[in-house]
Amino acid sequence: MAMDKVRYAGDPVAAVLAVDEPTADEALRFVDVEYEDLSAVTTIEEAIAPGAPLVHEQWSGQAELRGSSYGAPEKFKGTNICSYFGYSRGDVGEGFRKSDYVFEDTFRFPKVQHCSLEPHVMVAHFEEDHLTVWSACQDPFGLRDQLAAIFNLPLSHVRVIVPYVGGGYGGKLYVKAEPIAAALSWKAHRPVKLVMAVSESFKTVTRHPARVRIKSGLLADGRLLARECEIYMNTGAYADAGPRVNQKAGYRTLGPYRIPEVKVDAYCVYTNTVPAGAFRGFGAVQVAWAYESHTDLLAERLGMDPLEFRLKNLLKKGEPYTPGDTPVDCDLKEGLLKVAKALDWKREPSKPNTGKGLSLCMKDAGGTFKIAGATVKMASDGSVVLLTGTVEIGQGSRTALSQVVAEELSLDLNQISVAQLDTDVTPYDVSTSASSSMTVMGLAVQRAAQDVKKQLLGAASKVLDKKFAALTLKDGKVHSRGGKAVPYGKIITGYFGSKAGEIIGRGLYRDVKTKRAALGSTTTFWEVGWGGAEVEVDRETGAIHLHKYVSVADVGKAINPVQCEGQDEGGVVFGLGHTLFEQMVYEDGQLLNPNLVDYRVPTFRDLPKEFSSALIENQNGPGPFGSKGMGEGGLLPVASAIADAISKAVGIRFYDLPITPEKVWRALREKARR
Amino acid sequence: MAMDKVRYAGDPVAAVLAVDEPTADEALRFVDVEYEDLSAVTTIEEAIAPGAPLVHEQWSGQAELRGSSYGAPEKFKGTNICSYFGYSRGDVGEGFRKSDYVFEDTFRFPKVQHCSLEPHVMVAHFEEDHLTVWSACQDPFGLRDQLAAIFNLPLSHVRVIVPYVGGGYGGKLYVKAEPIAAALSWKAHRPVKLVMAVSESFKTVTRHPARVRIKSGLLADGRLLARECEIYMNTGAYADAGPRVNQKAGYRTLGPYRIPEVKVDAYCVYTNTVPAGAFRGFGAVQVAWAYESHTDLLAERLGMDPLEFRLKNLLKKGEPYTPGDTPVDCDLKEGLLKVAKALDWKREPSKPNTGKGLSLCMKDAGGTFKIAGATVKMASDGSVVLLTGTVEIGQGSRTALSQVVAEELSLDLNQISVAQLDTDVTPYDVSTSASSSMTVMGLAVQRAAQDVKKQLLGAASKVLDKKFAALTLKDGKVHSRGGKAVPYGKIITGYFGSKAGEIIGRGLYRDVKTKRAALGSTTTFWEVGWGGAEVEVDRETGAIHLHKYVSVADVGKAINPVQCEGQDEGGVVFGLGHTLFEQMVYEDGQLLNPNLVDYRVPTFRDLPKEFSSALIENQNGPGPFGSKGMGEGGLLPVASAIADAISKAVGIRFYDLPITPEKVWRALREKARR
């Protein structure tokens, strides 16, 4: 499959199809590949060095020019720069000139993997000119688009079915090996199953390693005046979601602060490594690590308390993040003060080698231009099937979306089923991503349920001969003023004159497109996460003991509080991974640790000793009942909060993740030596 | 499973579940059943004899009292009469008194089987409190109702999926062995597959054997004045669709003639034989055999030409069949004269032992109270998926319904796919039966497509900034007066602002309920079939040589002429089966020939030497583009046309089917002896 050139160790070269795995293994021995060694670039530095070998000789010109980007993409021709995003407002040079202080820091983020418990898995079946694919994917409609384009089929000839998915975290967005399975099925005239091993998923998609340089200008009182950010994202050998991740990283790098003059340059860079794509946080994780560490450093340099420094510069509710975009939709101070209180911020730690850190991050949630449809189908007994394109990836969407239906229709949750996700029949949804489902799909589902409600009340009005306005729904029955309560089923069978018939409601959600917004459409809502950590550093071993972690999430309204807390805690644990443990290690272009033994994810033993997750519910979300999406916010503040706590504990600042015991131990030795 | 009593040889007694068929066969040997011999009734005569053993001790009171039925059902308590349908108008006694002649005949119809090439087959999977069933059935929503009731689940917890079905003919309506498979899955916590052998399908459902007595009063000039019909339908050991088949037989027994005074009594009778249910013609086949043979006998007795006799008594287009029901919707003379012309009716056959017969029959099509919904989903490239509850049972519904969409949306047929039928997501449809799909579902599909068209034109009006009325659809493009033609895909992506989005259209069809109609709702349309046969009888062997068969069908508009002809020819061949060959033979309560060797279906060698099928297209149907349903009409006239041709050829009238060579040979011997 790799045409002329293999671009990374893991690039599919050939596929072997067999009736079972042992036979395929046997057949693999007969595949003989002769490789010619080529020079490789694996790091950002190598890739952008003058005269670096090109990962792709042909320049695709994939520059992202939406929003107020600048710079001519043509100038990147003949380089490894895959795409570019730029943003500026005001005059950053002027800002720096007016500043009392200007500080600059550079941070690095490692290559990490999603480690979904279920690896990539799919079945493809070509029958004449119709292709059916069962895939553990997060964007069945996007996958349908790609497969239709690849095999030159109308969209109506490609059917993607998604069963329960064993974790996604963005790793199952965008087409992966499905076209390979489909081509094999087309050749074999049989359904073809392709299940990846963990090591193969490691070689399929990762998070972007990043280098983020931030330069800020401040007044003596601590007010931010100007900021310049230069971001390089290592997107690996193929673009996947890279250009969009890079764009979002660039857009999100300003942080939740009021900064009059800004300039951002974000570069997405090809290297000969596993492609990087969407991953929980979608570019925000890398830049949040950078801008919040930078914030702590700024406070430190000015001799200010990092809490006070943040409170001074935070955007207020209703203030614009960038002109034309949705204004900040929550009180950023509220969560920060909650974290400070939970950490007993003002009290000095009583033990030595112990420190505290806090952080907050903001992410334009919803992704880029969301469209979602939903259908609610009420059968003649009043029970309901919900059709939604949101993929259940363990986040609990089936339960939460069913709750919205149950609430709107005053039905027991056990009367509601969620239909199999199938692009042939399920209404369109852009993707299950960007913490958007509760808001975007939630609204579509709510509107579909409200459509059913309207039709049901209309039918009841006829059947019961009562005025529409005199009728209400309660506990599966239509109640009328001065009348008897009648079960929905009786209304429907009465209306249709038999057990035949049903009520079908539809709902649609669309983001607002506007040229005034930097990214072309407005942010659906702001996902905000606050976090605080108290750590103790073991000077003998360099081990970090996480005594306490406090997470606060702005959820608007928790449709299912237990699920929300679970998601928030899960986000924090993800953050612990890249903060303290995880990193894909390359040597001579080879990935050394593509397995769950050598690659270290957090375990239950790594959980904070005290661990709390608080939900702020101010009904300030645009979703059903004032809800917002959530699930990524908890992840964002972890690294910088812990890094600052370490700095407070032992006076060492880390600029690169992960902060492993070895790194800490070496830094302690180095510091002692100086 | 059989509780206390086994009611027929074939009644399921126990189920054995195993990982494969050989293991199940092995396990079966360990099932030891001890039967106590009970007296059985297998024929109508035995079942209605005074003191007959009761098939069901408990009287269920299943009398069909819809319509203008009379008679107290309680009087059938303690008998084998399962249900009763009565209809009368005028005073039939007075009619007979005023008549110049009164004649009475009795006809019999045998027990025959559907012989679908695919036997009954299903997979059931219980997962917690959700049941999924894949079944080769014709009424997935009816099956869902039954399974929900049996397992006490909300309808939304039962999902029925129907793949392509290898023939149905009514035999796959109503629940069959699906609850057994479901109960086994519930027990085993695994999916359970149940595939019937041909012999088991023979013991699952059959057509009703019938005895039909018709008495008619006439004036000397041949005008019909009064008719009394007494029908007994042998429904086997369980009711299945029996009561409804009996009702329809009763309602259809008057034939396409103007008869002022009528009285009908139709009795549905339990016997210890395989249950009889729905079967292509649904009661019409048995009574059409009777009333058209009776018609020929009346003409013969009056010395009239059977064609002339019919033309004198035929209902005219627009005349009511019964008051309150849909009037006759075609010119009955037109088809009859077509048949006569094709048979060169007036010309005497040149060869000896040769004769001609003709016949016409009318059936209230659409079944009882039809409701159908459809959804048309246009993707962002303008291609379409159709959601329809009509089961593809080989009749070509997927093609014909897709053609309706293609025509309404001016799309290439290859842009249209039909979604998998799945009760969770497919809009409700009563059942695939009664030749109704082209009209009932056709209208729902057409309306759904028109809904898409309206939305598409609305979107185009915005995208192109043109008036709605100035836009038309042609060949997948929106055309505007004085503007460029724009592909649908461009309109949709333009309207939604991205590749995201789609247009979903909905359509619904409902029959009209009215108390004025004898059956509670009006007939959707009249299915009319005309047939004519020319046969030669071999006096040596009794064999019937079918030299010619002419079939004419009133289809309104043939959406797919090749499919229509195929269906009509198939109907005729079905008719040849029960006319000349087929009969399930019982001895001592045991079915002797439940296999395709001893049970003789027509083969290609039995086809008429000359065989034509003509479609009358007057756009007189209520379906899309003036279409009507079809597919049963061809079957109805076969038996009586052939029987009359035999009578003309050798002067012997048969009252019982099938007219086998042995029967003919014996009758010829008998006649020669007299």
A648-669 pLDDT, tens digit each: 999 999 999 999 999 999 999 9
pTM, entire model: 0.94
Task: Catalogue the E-assigned strands of A97-189.
Answer: 101-109, 121-127, 130-135, 158-162
Q: Which residue ranges of chain B lie beneath pLDDT 70?
A: 59-73, 367
Residue of A156, A371, A427 with shortest CB distance to B504: A427
- CB-CB neighbors (< 8 A) of B383 in chain A: 154-157
- B-chain residues within 8 Å CB-CB of A156? 379, 383-385, 415-417
- Closest residue on chain B to A412 (Cα): B154
Is B371's CB within 8 Å of A496's CB?
Answer: yes
With contacts defined as CB-CB under 8 Å, which chain B residues touch A510? 496, 501
Residue of A333, A335, A285 lying closest to A309 (CA atoms): A333
For B219-272, where are the E strands, in sequence order? Answer: 224-236, 261-270
A430 part of contact set with chain B, CB < 8 Å: yes
Whole-number Å distance between alpha carbons of B83 and B231: 12
Instruction: Tell me the CATH number of domain A115-202, given options 3.40.50.1370, 3.40.50.12780, 3.90.1300.10, 3.30.365.10.
Output: 3.30.365.10
Give me the helices (H) in A41-106, please: 44-48, 92-98
A419 CB neighbours in chain B (<8 A) are: 422, 424-425
Going by their DSSP bridges, the two strands A610-616 and B590-591 should be labelled as: unpaired
Q: Which of A155, A420, A428 sits opposite B383 (nearest CB)?
A: A155
- pLDDT tier at A184, thresholds 50, 70, 90: very high
pLDDT of residue A64: 43
Question: In 3-state terms, what secondary structure has residue B375?
Answer: strand
Number of residues in chain A? 674
- Cα–Cα distance measured from residue A33 to residue A11, given in angstroms and rounded to the nearest whole number: 13
Chain B contacts of A131, Cβ < 8 Å?
none
**pLDDT band for position A74 (50/70/90)?**
confident
Region class of A194: left (phi > 0), else alpha (psi between -120 and 50), else beta = beta
- What is the pLDDT of chain B when averaged over all its residues? 94
pLDDT of the residue at B63: 46
SS3 sequence of B584-626: CCEECCEECCCCCCCCCCCCHHHCCCEEEEEEECCCCCCCHHH
Distances (CA, A) of B212 to A138, B116, B204: 63, 27, 25
Q: What is the pLDDT of residue A63?
A: 46
Residue B580 is given by DSSP the state I
- Phi and psi at B631, nearest 5°, equal 125, -20
Closest chain B residue to the Cα of A493, Cα to Cα:
B371
Q: Which two tokens stand for residue A201?
A: 């998923």
CA pair distance A52, A49, nearest whole angstrom? 5
Q: Do B419 and A424 touch (CB under 8 A)?
A: yes
CB atoms B501 and A371 under 8 Å: yes
Q: Does B146 touch chain A (CB under 8 A)?
A: no
pLDDT at B71: 39
Query: Domain map of chain B by residue range?
Result: 1-38, 44-113+206-270, 115-202, 329-366+525-673, 371-510
Torsions phi, psi of A123, nearest 5?
A: -130, 135
The residues, any chain, with a CB within 8 Å of residue A540's CB and separated by 6 or more, are: none
Please tell me the distance from the alpha carbon of residue B331 to that of residue B316, in angstroms, as a whole number: 6
A405 touching chain B per CB within 8 A: no
Q: Are A410 and A452 in contact (CB under 8 A)?
A: no
For residue B417, give the nearest of A156, A371, A385 by CB distance. A156
B529: Cα within 13 Å, side-chain hemisphere: 38
Helices (H), A240-360: 242-252, 284-302, 306-313, 332-343
At A73 the pLDDT is 67
Say which DSSP state B560 is in.
S
Dihedral angle, C-alpha B290, B293, B296, B302, nearest 10 ° = -60
Under 8 Å CB-to-CB from A262, ≥6 apart: which residues? A87, A88, A89, A90, A92, A226, A227, A228, A229, A254
The single-letter code of the amino acid at A353 is: N
Rg (CA), chain B: 26
CB of A463 less than 8 A from some CB of B? no
**Largest interatomic CA distance in chain A:** 90
> What is the CATH topology of the domain spanning B329-366+525-673?
Aldehyde Oxidoreductase; domain 4 (3.30.365)
CB burial of A443-474 (b: ≥16 within 10 Å; e: otherwise) equals: bbbbbbbebbbebbbebbbebbebeeeebebe
A504 contacts in B (CB within 8 Å)? 373, 427, 506
Number of cross-chain residue pairs from A and B with Cβ atoms under 8 Å apart: 132
B385 touches chain A (CB under 8 A): yes
Give the nearest chain A residue to B128 (CA atoms). Answer: A414
Contact B156/A379, CB-based, under 8 Å?
yes
B145, B416, B497: residue with CB nearest A369: B497
By the 10 Å C-beta count (0-12 exposed, 13-18 middle, 19+ buried), A32 is classed as: exposed
> Interface pTM (ipTM) of the complex?
0.93
Burial of A546 (0-12, 13-18, 19+ CB in 10 A): buried
- A406: distance to nearest CA of chain B, Å? 13
Residues 6+ apart with CB under 8 A from A127: none
Residue B584 Cα, gap to closest chain A Cα (Å): 35
> Beta partners for B555?
none
Q: Say how far apart CA A399 and CA A566 lie, in whole Å.
A: 14
Residue A500: which of B422, B430, B499 has the nearest Cβ? B430
Tokens of B263: 């009285």
Partner-chain residue, chosen from A383, A387, A414, that has the shortest CB–CB distance to B425: A387
Give yes or no for a contact between B660 and B577, defined as CB atoms under 8 angstroms apart.
no
A436–B contact, CB cutoff 8 A: no
Q: Is the pLDDT of residue A486 over 90?
A: yes
Query: Mapped to the 3 state alphabet, what secondary structure does A501-568 carry?
Result: CCEEEEEEEECCECCCCCCCECCCEEEEEEEEEEEEECCCCCCEEEEEEEEEEECCCCCCHHHHHHHH
Worst-scoring range by mean pLDDT, A369-373, A477-481, B62-66, B330-334? B62-66
Using CA atoms, how far residue B104 sits from B107, B172, B308, B639, in Å, is 10, 36, 21, 19
Q: Which residues of B touch A492 (CB under 8 A)?
A: none
Candidates A125, A425, A512, A513, partner chain B, best to mutate (most B CBs within 10 A):
A425
Q: What pLDDT score does B76 carry?
A: 86
User: Backbone phi, then psi, for A133, in 5-degree steps?
Assistant: -130, 125
Beta strand A525-537 with A354-365: parallel, antiparallel or unpaired? Answer: antiparallel
B198–A contact, CB cutoff 8 A: no
pLDDT > 60? residue A131: yes
Of B156, B140, B505, nearest in space to A409 by CA: B156
Q: Which numeric CATH code is attached to A44-113+206-270?
A: 3.30.365.10
Round to whole Å and give the CA distance between B646 and A365. Answer: 82
- Grouping H, G, I as helix, E, B as strand and the rest as coil, residue A148 is helix
- pLDDT for A42 equals 95
Q: Contact, A383 vs A416, CB < 8 A?
A: yes
The fraction of chain A above a pLDDT of 70, given in percent, is 97
Q: CB distance from A97 to chain B under 8 Å?
A: no
Cβ-defined contact of B379 to A415 (cutoff 8 Å): no
A273 with A111: CB under 8 angstroms? yes
Per the structure block, which two tokens stand in for A263?
Answer: 């300039």
Tokens of A476: 């599966």
Distance CA B471, CA B489 (A): 16
Three-class SS of residue A107? strand
- The stretch A408-412 carries a mean pLDDT of 98
Q: Which residues contact A599 (CB under 8 A, 6 or more apart)?
A: A113, A115, A202, A582, A583, A584, A593
B54 part of contact set with chain A, CB < 8 Å: no
What pLDDT does residue B64 have?
43
Tokens of B136: 């080769």
User: Which residues of chain A does B417 touch, with a Cβ-Cβ cutoff of 8 Å?
Assistant: 130, 154, 156-157, 159, 424
- Rounded CA-CA distance A534/A354 in Å is 7
Task: Note whether B223 and B255 are within 8 A (CB).
Answer: no
Angstrom distance (rounded) from CA B670 to CA B484: 81
Question: Rounded CA gap, A559 and A400, in Å?
Answer: 6
Q: Residue A464: which pLDDT band, with cuts at 50, 70 and 90? A: very high
Q: Is CATH 3.30.365.10 the right assignment for the domain spanning B371-510?
A: yes
How many Cβ atoms from other residues are within 10 Å of residue B33's Cβ?
8
Chain B CB contacts of A377 below 8 Å: 424-425, 427
Q: Is the CB of A476 inside 8 Å of chain B's CB atoms?
A: no
Question: Is the CB of A426 inside 8 Å of chain B's CB atoms?
Answer: yes
The string of DSSP codes covering A223-243 is -EEEEEEEEEEEEETS-TTHH
Instruction: Check CB contact of B388 with chain A, cutoff 8 Å.
Output: no
Q: How many CB atoms lie within 10 A of CB A655?
A: 15
Residues of B in contact with A499 (CB under 8 A): 145
Residue A66: is its pLDDT beyond 60? no
CB B583 within 8 A of CB B109: no
Q: How far apart are CA B366 and CA A415, in angstroms?
A: 32
Structure tokens given for B282:
């649904």
pLDDT of B443 = 98
Which B residues in the span 478-537 are in contact with A, Cβ-Cβ below 8 Å? 496-502, 504, 506, 510, 513
Provide the token pair at A220: 């003596």
Asked if the Cβ–Cβ distance from B157 to A417 is below 8 Å, we say: yes
Lowest mean pLDDT among A364-368, A591-595, B252-256, B389-393: A364-368
Helix %, strand %, coil % for chain A, to 5?
Answer: 30, 25, 45
**DSSP assignment, residue B461?**
H
Residues 6 or more apart whose CB falls under 8 angstroms from that of B135 comprise B121, B122, B123, B143, B160, B161, B162, B178
Same fold, B115-202 and B329-366+525-673: yes
Residue B143 contacts A, CB cutoff 8 Å: no
Give residue A101's pLDDT band: very low, low, confident or very high (50, 70, 90).
Answer: very high
